[in-house]
Structure 1
Amino acid sequence: MAPIKVGILGLSTKPSAWATLAHYPYLKTSSHYKVTGVCNSTLQSSQAAIDHFNLPDAKAHESWESLARDPNVDLIVVSTRADTHYDVAKPALLAGKSVYVEWPLAANASQAREMSELARQNGCRTIVGLQGRVAPSVLAVRSIVDSGRLGEIHSVSYQGTANVWQDNTLSERYHYFVDRKVGGTLLTIYGGHIIDSITCAVGELETWQTLTGNFRKTMKVKRDDGTLSDETVEKDTPDQMMLMGRLKRDPPAMFNFHLRAGNRFGDQPGSVWRVYGTKGELQMTFRSAGPQIGVAESLRVCDFEKGTVEDVVIDEGGERWTGLPEQGQNIGRLYEAFATGKAGVDYADWEHAVRRHEMIDGFYDTMV
């Protein structure tokens, strides 16, 4: 099968840029894809990226409309800030292209619904960057739960600490986390990724309620050089998020989720995920706040009848995946699923993204 021709919005020569770390490493080695277009903020920066990454088959574009019109592009990848997703993706949808947009799909649920409907009207294949759905750690939990090893599942819990806003300061790089209008916040990015990963493994929620707190309403900015700004920045996004509900299982299972910002407890894990059943309990820990990036630190299963605890080794799939940057491993698996899999099974399309957006937007109804 001929490779899917990819046009990337946001492929920077900066080594720390997300598209550079998470998207390009897989794309440059995969037989399923070929990069044929690049669009950055200027034509010069687009060409600079093509030269830097040695992409002889790629054309430099000065606008996302130009990229959308390129007949040599099948799939457009949007790796820009959340508040640009709607405007950037729209020309691609009108052109009938396949479109991959990072999570969150849009700045809010209303924009996400409009984008999803426009994709449906124009017959576009869509994918949203909820890469936790293909993470080996998440799939390992699903496999253990589905095997019946834990018995009937009675409860699932998750507690995570995002490594932001320590000491009540705001990092210069993620300053936009404080502004709900931008759409890329601790709630939408971390919360959305984590909740989607959990429900992928143990089942969707049928009922839920939320409790959300914005307790760090003003913060100083911590500059890249370590100094603090004189002025303070106001924040209208949450730093404490709780969700409690009932999972669609037979029998139903209880679910609780707590994500917070701020300093972590010493050398403790960034997050802990537990699944409790009648025959045993699973416990998984992560260095980060969520399972969407990086392998789990540990996966342990307690067998109640035998009175044993087993350390489970997670199969990462070998050097093909582990040789990629950590940020790009699950993104690469997502691309692989898009090229070979089915929507709603191995990756999330935009209809799924809309449902996740609607849930996330509901957190703001209970913010104090």
Structure 2
Amino acid sequence: MTDKIGVGIIGANPNRGWAKSAHIPALSALPQYEIRAISTSQQETAIAASKQFNVSLAFDNHVELVTHPEVDLVVVAVKVAYHHELVTAAIAAGKHIYCEWPLGNGLAEAIELADLARRKNICTAIGLQGRAAPAVNQIRDLIAQGYVGTVVSTSLIVSDKYPSDVIDSANVYMLDSQNGANLLTVHTGHYADVVTYCLGEFRELNATLATQRTQVKIVDTGESIPATAPDQIAVNGTLHSGAIASLHIRGGRSRGTNLLWEINGTEGDLLVTGDTGHTYMLDVVLQGAQGQEKALSLIPVPNKYRWVPPETPKGSAFNVAQVYARLAQDILQGTKTCAGFDEAVVRHQMLNAIQIAANSGTKQAYKVDF
């Protein structure tokens, strides 16, 4: 490794996608990294991406990227169905890996990939970037410092753009429950990870899943197609701390509440609100009150929770850059500061418990150790 961490991105489409909107601007803002290679499924697209993003190496297959000596870190930013193959190849090549969430298409794949990475002793990061958000880390510290006293309960309500009555062609795959990317596996995983990162895991949970919109219109074609993935997800239960927790993740933007997360304790309250449900992507408003205070007040987020340069772009790229800042420390200094594949397995365990609870109508628990 040279003075910079050489990055190879699998799935850097020049026209759209998460790599373009989040990963590339995040990496470009951090002096620890240099993007050296890009691969897509077609040579023409790879070359176009390399020119647009000023990257020297362009491949139409992942094998050349993961085995190239100038690549130290492989970023997997493609659909979930391809994660297992691509991450396995990167592990075999001995490269550090940042994989988008979910890690695998189901719990079994996630466990296998985490085991392989652990045996290879490589640094991993999982795209659960909500836990890298400045406000989320401040909330975690406030809870640990006793701002609300003993946590009694927490309630989260979020509304997500997809799935709704309409969808665009690029996101149609989210309507199929078998594809591994839907409101349960992707968005609920993100939201639940933020809550449990701050308050601890569930000791046991109940769940209800429903597909209320069974037909969805594709806006750019006018076609109507069936949906099998859930668009309403309700989870409630008891955390290991004894606090009662409820999460309701709803498909489709609301004219009312799109993000409301409340934490209630014996000595105070915290409230998180936002214009969209993407807590893990965008800025939120944090308010609190404690003791004899009668009304909530704005709680500013100190700069110590911002680990990236001031010029880092806001929006989708910011929290991703926060993850990369911690990952660079782990790679260069041998620390373990960022969530990796082991943490991803815990979240997959939780999602598996939610699915079983919904199917069986019984309370479920899940493993929280690796």
TM-score by length of 2: 0.89
Contact 1:25 1:325 in 2 (8 A): no
Which of 129, 150, 153 does residue 152 from structure 1 map onto? 150
Equivalence map 1:158-307=2 (5 Å):
158-166=156-164, 168-223=165-220, 228-229=222-223, 232-249=224-241, 252-265=242-255, 268-296=256-284, 298-307=285-294
The offset of 1:352, in angstroms, is: 1.4
> Residue type of the partner of 1:293?
M
Q: Which residue pairs with 2:329 in the alignment?
A: 340
Percent sequence identity is: 27
> Residue type of the partner of 2:172?
H
> Residue type of the partner of 1:136?
P
Is residue 312 of structure 1 aligned with residue 306 of structure 2? no
Which stretch has the larger CA shift, 80-89 or 335-344?
A: 335-344
Q: Which residue pairs with 1:37 in the alignment?
A: 37
Three-state SS of the structure 2 residue aligned to 1:198 is: helix
Say if 1:244 and 1:348 are closer, same or farther in 2 by CA, change over 3 A: same
Deviations 1:68-96 (A, max 9, x none): 21111111000111111111222111111
Deviations 1:322-364 (A, max 9, x none): 6414100000000001111599964211111112112213333
CA–CA distance in structure 1, aligned partners of residues 52 and 161 of structure 2:
32
Is residue 25 of structure 1 aligned with residue 17 of structure 2? no
The offset of 1:278, in angstroms, is: 1.0
Say if 1:235 and 1:68 are closer, same or farther in 2 by CA, change over 3 A: same
Deviations 1:108-136 (A, max 9, x none): 11111111122223222211100011101
**Deviation beyond 4 Å, 4+ runs, structure 1:** 341-345
Contact 2:260 2:272 in 1 (8 A): yes
CA–CA distance in structure 2, aligned partners of residues 321 and 285 of structure 1:
24
CA–CA distance in structure 1, aligned partners of residues 302 and 185 of structure 2:
29
CA–CA distance in structure 2, aligned partners of residues 22 and 136 of structure 1:
17
Structure 1 unaligned residues grouped into runs of 5+: none
Three-state SS of the structure 1 residue aligned to 2:103 is: coil
Contact 1:6 1:37 in 2 (8 A): yes
Contact 1:282 1:299 in 2 (8 A): yes
Three-state SS of the structure 1 residue aligned to 2:170 is: coil
Alignment root-mean-square deviation, CA:
2.2
Contact 1:300 1:309 in 2 (8 A): yes
Which stretch has the larger CA shift, 116-125 or 277-286?
A: 116-125
Contact 1:130 1:347 in 2 (8 A): no
Contact 1:86 1:111 in 2 (8 A): yes
Contact 1:218 1:233 in 2 (8 A): yes
Say if 1:201 and 1:345 are closer, same or farther in 2 by CA, change over 3 A: farther
Which of 309, 313, 325 does residue 324 from structure 1 map onto? 313
Contact 2:26 2:312 in 1 (8 A): no
> Residue type of the partner of 1:349?
G
Contact 1:10 1:40 in 2 (8 A): yes
Structure 2 unaligned residues grouped into runs of 5+: 362-370
Say if 1:325 and 1:47 are closer, same or farther in 2 by CA, change over 3 A: farther
Which stretch has the larger CA shift, 147-156 or 116-125?
A: 116-125
Contact 1:7 1:77 in 2 (8 A): yes
TM-score by length of 1: 0.90
Q: Which residue pairs with 1:122 in the alignment?
A: 120
